[in-house]
Each structure stands twice: as C-alpha cells, then as structure tokens.
Structure 1
Amino acid sequence: MSEILGKYQLVAELARGGMGIVYLAVSQGPGRFSKLLVIKELKPELAEDASFLQMFLDEARLAARLNHPNIVQTYEIGTDGDRHFIVMDYLEGISLARVLKRKSEKFTAAMQLRVLSEALQGLSYAHNLTDFDGTPLGSCIAMRRLRTCSSPSTVR
C-alpha cells in the first residue's frame, strides 16, 4: 500500500470498523526525518451526514486536549478532498487482546492490576479535565455520545 492521504503516506491497514478505517502511516520530512503514526479515517458515507461529521470533529478536538502518558496523543484533524481523518500517535507493541490469547504466558493478577491501574489513571485524567468554560469534559463526552450535548461550540 502506498497511498497518500493529506501529507501522510499510508503504509498498512490496521483495522476496519463501523465508523472507518485505521491505517499505519508515515510522516516524512527533510533530512530523512520520518515518524510512524496512526490515521483513523471516517467512512465517506458517514462524513456526508453533517451532524455525524460535527460529532467526529468535536470528539477529535476533545481528544487533542488530552495529554497523559496513558492516553494516545491526537495530533491533527485532516481533510483530503472529501476524506476526513484524525492523526494519532503510534504505539509499538502488542495489544492486550493478543497478550490474553497467548497460551505460553500467564496473565497474572499482578499484571492485571497494573494494566487496570494504568487504564484507570488515564480515564481519571480525562474525566477530571475541564473545558475552557469550566465544564467537565468527561460529562460532555458522555452527553455527546447520547447526542444531547446542547453546546458543542464550547469545545475549542
């Protein structure tokens, strides 16, 4: 695969789901600079729905405000023609799902507690973050999922 999306070269498709496609991509610059990233592209048919596209963009803006070691960093919202995408950090390693499927290693209680603790630290950070007007972002994210958040304009 050597497709270009915006200023990124798509390297491989990582996953495909109901909302879109996730790609491994590379950003290249002068002096042989290159960085692996993940790009989440919204399905074109979903982008045609203005309210769905707005929700996608609002959630990307919220995600970009999250800066915590246990949360993947969101770098950019991009468009290329009618294609809409989010650029995120790429974390090398194996997924928790693959660890759990391995028969050769036991997933000990200590390992389970560590994973849970780190996930909860990131969740707590996101839950306690507030918007520019003091509104907790965690509650606004939950309200958006229910499509009842009345003021997406407060998210910058």
Structure 2
Amino acid sequence: MSETIYSNLKQLGGDTIMPQSPEEAVLERVQNPQADVNYNVRFTAPEFTSLCPMTGQPDFAHLVIDYVPGDWLVESKSLKLFLGSFRNHGAFHEDCTISIARRLVTFLDPRWLRIGGYWYPRGGIPIDVFWQSGAMPADVWIPDQGVPPYRGRG
C-alpha cells in the first residue's frame, strides 16, 4: 500500500488498550486535506467520566469540543482513548476540562477551539466549565453547543 496522510496512524484499525492516565494517552493527527477552508469540527462526549480527587467517587460530564482546524485534524479514535483515560484520573471539573482543551490546542495548533464541560451535579451543584482559544471566527458556522443548562426535576 502506498504512503498516505494516514500512514502514520498506529491506533486506528487495531486493538488498543485504554491508557491508564491522560499523560499516558497518545493523541494522533493527520494532515488536513482541506486546510485552505475554514470549517468547524465538533466532537461530543456525552458520557465522559473522571474521578473526584478527594473522594475517588466518579464524576460525569457531557463534553462538547468545537475546533476550526489548521494544518492538522485529530484522529477520532485517539481522541476517544484520550478522553477515556480520564476515567481513572482524579481532578476537579475545571482541571479536567481545561487540560483537555490545552492538550488539543498544543497538539493541533487549530485556528480556534472551544470546549464546553457540562458536569452533572455532585453535592447538589452542577459545575459547567467553558473555554475557548480566542475570538470565534466570523466566517465559520459554529452552532450553539445544544446542551441546556441543568434544571433538575423542575
């Protein structure tokens, strides 16, 4: 098989083991064949989990990641494994959300990235965490993240 922009991928198409920590997780990227166009890519992880660093109890979130790629696209299986590596990771909601965003920005150097971390209540208080790398590009359609604020049983 000839060399392609996908030739360097190691995780896609094979058996992989869930990394035990975010530091151990390997993100992979491919060259963006549409780098001359500004467009939005959205990843939604409605069943994200991590651990409370104090109690070890599970925390649950609905993550929405939007990015306008530059030269690189994140390979989705490696992103799934990276997000899954938080399952045994103890950190507060804010730290998990911002750590994910910062790692993606450092790795991909996108034109723009935002993350919404919609965390389910623990102790009766939902904590939502939002971050973006700069001003939203004016020439790209970026829909609302579509996650309503927490309303409880109301």
- Shorter-normalised TM-score: what interval? under 0.3
TM normalised by structure 1 equals 0.27
Greater RCO (Cα-Cα under 8 Å, separation 6 or more): 2
